[in-house]
Structure 1
Amino acid sequence: MAEATPAPPAACEREFLEYSGPVAGMKYPVKVKYCGDCGTPIEYCEFYPNYEKCKKWLESNLPDEFGKIVSVKDDDGEGGGGGGGEADDSEKKKRQTRGGKGTVKAKKKSEPTGIKVGTSKRGKKKTITIVIGLASYDIDLKDAAKFFSNKFACGSTVQGEDEICIQGDVKDDLFDILPEKWKAISEDDIDDVGEIKK
């Protein structure tokens, strides 16, 4: 039998995190309360860019927890008087605002500008059909591309913010299918722009 090799001396000197068991006075399983506005646990709401909205939601839905959080803030000295507006301004300057869920960009509401349908050459013999302008009718471009793929049995992709490329020359069929599928579109809104240079 082979003997177990002893651990190197450097490994014996390291301190590892040891689990000491459940904490006395804590009730398990721990129930975490989440904010309805930002979706994070309520103790992390202060790091959310729209903290004021979280405070309003907490005050109306969880007043006990709101009272605890506000009293903790006052003890830390953030909510106290004395300094007044200067402390609040410097706090806003220190807080870093980040993108993501907190800063959702509002979509621009624009009038429908019409739909442009054209073709483009891909290689020597291949043709693709390009549809521009569906997004101005509040049509989800991914769903529209999937619909075109199923309808024409070909590939279709979303290109850019307001453009769908369909493999094959299906331009003539689109004049009938678009008003039939989406009632907001009339045949007068669809323009044939011929060949589009890419």
Structure 2
Amino acid sequence: MAEIEEKKVTYPLKVVYCSECTMPLEYCEYSGKKCATRSTQEVTESVDGIIITDNDVQEETKHQTRGGRGTKGKVAFEEPQTITLQRASRGKNKYTTIVKNLSTHKVDLKVAAKFFSSKFACGSSVTGPDEIVIQGDVTDELFDVIPAKWPHITDDDIEDLGDGKK
């Protein structure tokens, strides 16, 4: 029988960590391109048997940190568009009012929805990236309320589209 040589292991083990991804070097092959190139430069002579390959096609992008929201991309400056008011039917005699393009005038939609719900004693919510839905037909009142609350918005900036489908 052939004798098998075993390396003598001393405990505690000394683990070498990657400075880029903070994982042990054995896991660097699963990380991005930046980690793979960095770890090969640092420890090629000190670690035997680890092959770090580059399987990624594109550069590593910023990852979301654990537990937090991802950063939103930079938004290009948008020219203020006309605010459109539209009435949509909910049933027999019930309507909802849809307000669009309010955020292009630098108005926080969440604050505006809360203001509309308290002003008109109805429900209102932000339903899209630039859309607020108000329960009830309040299109006529919005022509007075919006310029009063936000003075930088004039009556000419508001347009009524009439009845529409939801």
TM-score (norm 1): 0.52
Q: Does 2:135 match 1:167?
A: yes
Q: Does 2:107 match 1:139?
A: yes
Partner of 1:189: 157
Partner of 1:118: 86
Q: Which letter maps to 1:125?
A: N
Distance (Å, rounded) in 2 between the aligned partners of 1:141 and 1:77: 49
- Cα shift at 1:98: 2.8
Q: Which letter maps to 1:130?
A: I
Deviations 1:85-133 (A, max 9, x none): xxxxx69968564346565311232000110112111011111111111
Distance (Å, rounded) in 1 between the aligned partners of 2:42 and 2:19: 16
Deviations 1:121-178 (A, max 9, x none): 1011111111111011111111100000011110001111111111111111100110
Q: Does 2:156 match 1:179?
A: no
Distance (Å, rounded) in 2 between the aligned partners of 1:188 and 1:91: 56
Structure 2 residue runs without a partner (length 5+) = 1-17, 23-37, 44-53
Counterparts in 2 of 1:5-24, with a 5 A limit?
none
Counterparts in 2 of 1:17-56, with a 5 A limit?
46-47=20-21
Structure 1 residue runs without a partner (length 5+) = 1-43, 49-73, 81-89
Q: Which protein has the bigger helix share?
A: 1
Partner of 2:63: 98
Task: Give aligned-pair identity as a percent.
Answer: 45
TM-score (norm 2): 0.61
| Structure 2 CA distance for partners of 1:185 and 1:106, relative to 1, 3 Å | same
| Structure 2 CA distance for partners of 1:78 and 1:45, relative to 1, 3 Å | closer
Q: Which letter maps to 1:156?
A: S
Q: Give the CA RMSD over aligned residues.
A: 3.5
Distance (Å, rounded) in 1 between the aligned partners of 2:153 and 2:120: 20
Q: How many residues align?
A: 124
Deviations 1:67-100 (A, max 9, x none): xxxxxxx9x76469xxxxxxxxx69968564346
Distance (Å, rounded) in 2 between the aligned partners of 1:113 and 1:178: 15
Say which SS state the counterpart of residue 128 (structure 2) adopts.
Answer: coil
Deviations 1:24-44 (A, max 9, x none): xxxxxxxxxxxxxxxxxxxx9
Distance (Å, rounded) in 1 between the aligned partners of 2:144 and 2:83: 13
Distance (Å, rounded) in 1 between the aligned partners of 2:144 and 2:63: 46
